Amino acid sequence: MRLPQFAIFAQGMGAHEFIEFDLRPGVDTAQASQSLGQLEQPAVSAGGVNLVVAYGPELWKRLAPDDVPAGLRPFREVIGLDGHRAPATQHDIWVWISGSSGDVVFEHSRAATAAIADVAAIATEQACFVHRDSRDLLGFIDGTENPPLLEAAPVALVPAGEPGAGGSHVLVMRWIHDLSLFETLPQAEQERVFGRTKIDSVELADGEKPSTAHIARVEIEDPDGQELEIYRRSVPYGTLGEHGLYFVAFSADRERYDRMLARIFGLADGQRDGLTNFTRPVTGAFYFAPPLALLGMKELPIPASERFLQKIPLFAKCTPRQLRFIASSVEWRDFPVGATLCRQGDRGGEFFVIVEGKAEASRDGSLLRTLGTGDFFGEIALIDGGPRTATVTSISPLRCLVVQSQHFRDVLGQNADIAVRILDAVTQRLRSTVGPDSVRARIES
């Protein structure tokens, strides 16, 4: 399987910017391809943000005609029951930038726009935010039915062996809510509209859940009765005058969206989603988010700092792109003989990797281990902010790669894959400290 754009699955970001672009008149395929590659320059994609780039169906067919996934086509207007509709507002490029704060996301969004300004112009832009505990502005938790993170890839990604494998079909729709009207309903009626409880998001029993409830309408099944899932990444947006949900979903199969929209707007069986009485879409577009290899990011050269990172068990399986994220926050430091890099009991905020030289790790005055090239220490204190469990002192001139705590946490936020790998590596390291006959001292400080 080709590697996907991992930011599709990245969690924990509180600020989001979604930008749609149209190609400028007269831009040919070669010019577009070369310029769009600038979206991967560090000013756009590095420095604590997540980036997803997707292309409209017609543009993707021009850029990669041999990797067009089955069913890829532009969004078509949906004309539903009772005058309800979903307009088609297809554009050429869709960019999603997310981060921990709005200022950082804003800066990188400006950089993205500038990077492709010669070939593309902004068509729409929407800043979004996370509301409370991932709730829609209507007060209900959004994305409850998402598959667990470790099971999301088969739901969201085109399977191996198919054109576009490792990429994802994207559906983007901006919905405007009528909060005032919805808030006139008693909570029990609001729950019947959604089909689940408002406070703890428990699905209503079949006898209590109307057939027009939202969760009843968005659930689709294959001929054998198995649910066909999509991976939702929607977030709220708004001003006091206009507010709602920026709906984003990723799927291995575009036709799942057709079936879902038909059920929402009453075209499948004559029953319309009751939630459409309180919200309406004003945009609709399909995009394809290609895998990393098709974005030209797979064969990046690996500089020296990244090669050393790749030797560390925590990062040994990281892709060149992931290593680049990490390396952008690395500092090179030199220490003389006898320097104390960290002291037992002190609060820790740095992660060290020895590039050249040797050091000793000790606890309570007793030597634990001699450390050399490629050894690392400080990851546990870096993750939890706790005190150092050992003192590390250089016994020769020492050169290290150092990652500050705040940058390391940005690295964890880059994508879920890095976080899972780090958790797995730290777990293995902790287990390895326990022998069959005794508990060996840990040197993680």
Task: Assign 334 to helix, strand or coil.
Answer: strand
The pLDDT value given to residue 383: 72
Which residues in 355-375 are b (16+ Cβ under 10 Å) and which e?
bebbbbbbbeeeebbebeeeb
- What DSSP string describes 140-196? SBS-TTPPPGGGHHHHHSPPTTSTTTT-EEEEEEEEEE-HHHHTTS-HHHHHHHHTB
CATH 3.30.70.3420 domain span(s) along the chain: 6-295
Pick the closest to residue 131 from 276, 49, 238 (CA basis). Answer: 238
**CATH node for 304-432:** 2.60.120.10
pTM here is 0.69
pLDDT by 10s per residue, the chain, length 445: 578 999 999 988 999 999 999 999 999 888 888 889 888 766 676 667 899 999 999 999 999 998 999 999 999 999 999 999 999 999 999 999 999 999 999 999 999 999 999 999 999 999 999 999 999 999 999 988 899 888 999 999 999 999 999 999 999 999 999 999 999 999 999 999 999 999 999 999 999 999 999 999 999 988 888 899 999 999 999 999 999 999 999 999 999 999 999 999 999 999 999 999 999 999 999 999 999 888 754 334 456 667 777 777 667 767 666 677 677 777 888 899 999 999 999 988 888 888 889 999 998 999 988 999 888 888 777 777 778 888 999 999 998 888 887 777 666 654 455 667 667 766 765 665 554 443 344 444 5
Beta-bridge partner residues of 352 = 377, 402
Active-site residue set = 142
* CA gap 341, 361 in Å, rounded: 10
Q: Right CATH number for 6-295 from 3.40.50.970, 1.20.1250.20, 3.30.70.3420, 3.90.1820.10?
A: 3.30.70.3420
* CA gap 15, 386 in Å, rounded: 28
The pLDDT value given to residue 296: 54
CATH 2.60.120.10 domain span(s) along the chain: 304-432
Q: Compute the chain's Rg from CA coordinates.
A: 25
Beta-bridge partner residues of 382 = none
H or E element in which residue 110 lies: helix 102-115
Between strands 359-363 and 391-394, the pairing is antiparallel
* CA gap 176, 377 in Å, rounded: 50
